[in-house]
Amino acid sequence: MIDDIFPTGRAWIELNRDALRHNVRVLSALLPPGCDLMPVVKANAYGHGMTLVAKELWAQGLHAFCVATAMEGVELREAGIAGEILVLGYTHPGYFPLLQRYRLTQTVPEPAYAEALSQAGFPIRVQLKLDTGMHRLGMDVRETDRIAALFDLPNLEIMGAFTHLCADTSTSPHDKAITAAQAAAFRSTLDALAAKGCAVPKAHLLASYGLLNYPELGGDYARTGIALYGLLSEKGDACPVELCPVLSLKARIAQIHVLAAGDKAGYDHAFCAQQETCLATLTIGYADGLPRSLSEGVGEVLIHGHKAPIAGRICMDQTLVDVTNIPQAAPGDEAILIGTSGSLTITAGDMAEKTSTLTNEILSRLGPRLNRIWV
């Protein structure tokens, strides 16, 4: 990439290697016996940069990964990632040859899909997805006979079975009851399959919150996404360990305008200066993943250790911020959208809270124009 010449010139993501190592360490300490981390690097590793993150995790000794799509799996293989790569989502039959060529493990959501895979005519690795209550992808756990029949299909190499918990973000009585019922359905289905001679090599049900809140449920893998990146989906959720955010989001000041009281700025002239005001134009916009709903003072950035509120409407590639109280701000200076400056920090969780969404959505929408570098 031509941007390698100066990756921090416009808008970029800094990835903190020590933070990722720390998260791997504290999450590994929570693992039940016999369970390994299986990092989830879908959606460009939640915006962090899929191949960068996967290579680093590989170097840290983690050798099984989850992606959402077959093409993400292909990209990992082309980047040199060996080991198991589990495609969590639906893959159209048109991609079946890729599954074989790149040795990807495909999730089987229903028996008919397994038959289609088998009929492709070449060996394909699969994991069976069991629906224990989420009703998103997965086979009805009451149909153990139909599931057991899949073990007789030619060409399917059944590597494991898994399910997904849908209420594991807390240990409230409500969530606990749902989680216990899902775990029980999962175990009893695996037992029923084993009794028919259809034992699966690997079984897993924990994602990040499952590992944090219900490690006793066990399994061969914990499919951790958000927690590995040092965050929770929602800021206020309880967490038994201290996680360190891996990602910072930064941009630069392109220009500073001095407005007189009454002057207006930006699209629709939505910003009106109440007094003499200095506005800095930042080199980042909503096309980079900065939510436009942070416009007009909802969001702020950090410059030289001070807060600068967003002024007027966020544009596609640029954003105005009020730097009246930061006289040293000058073109070329860094602005921190997510991260720490001096004694102040803005987290992805803060941004998510202000825009009524999850950290996962904020992160996974960080765009391809952002350069990503390790620090």
Ligand X SMILES: *Cc1c(COP(=O)(O)O)cnc(C)c1O
Chain residues that interact with ligand X, rule: CB under 6 A: 40, 42, 88, 164, 207-209, 223-227
Classify strands 300-303 and 264-265 as parallel, antiparallel or unpaired.
Answer: unpaired
CA distances from 70 to 4, 7, 116, 150 (A): 28, 29, 16, 22
81 vs 336 by CB, closer to ligand X? 81
Active-site annotation, residues: 42, 267
Distance CA 90, CA 88 (A): 7
We find the least distance from the C-beta atom of residue 206 to ligand X, in angstroms, to be 8
Q: Which is closer to ligand X, CB of 167 or CB of 270? A: 167
Q: Which is nearer to ligand X, 224 or 318 (CB)?
A: 224
Angle, nearest 10°, between helix axes 17-30 and 50-59?
Answer: 60
Min CB(223)–ligand X separation in Å = 4
CB of 336 to ligand X, least distance (A): 24
Least distance CB 7 / ligand X (angstroms): 27
Q: Would you state the structure tokens that stand for residue 239, as one six-digit string? A: 């967490």
Helix (H) or strand (E) holding 106: strand 105-108
- In angstroms, the CA 50 to CA 67 distance is 9
**Taking every pair of C-alpha atoms in the chain, what is the biggest distance, in angstroms?**
80
d(CA 106, CA 273): 56
Contact 249, 297 (CB under 8 A): no
Contact 151, 182 (CB under 8 A): no
Q: Which residue is nearest to ligand X (CB)?
A: 225
DSSP one-letter code for 20:
H
Which residue lies nearer to ligand X by CB, 10 or 42?
42
**Least separation, in Å, of the C-beta of 359 and ligand X?**
9
Is the CB of 226 or the CB of 348 nearer to ligand X? Answer: 226
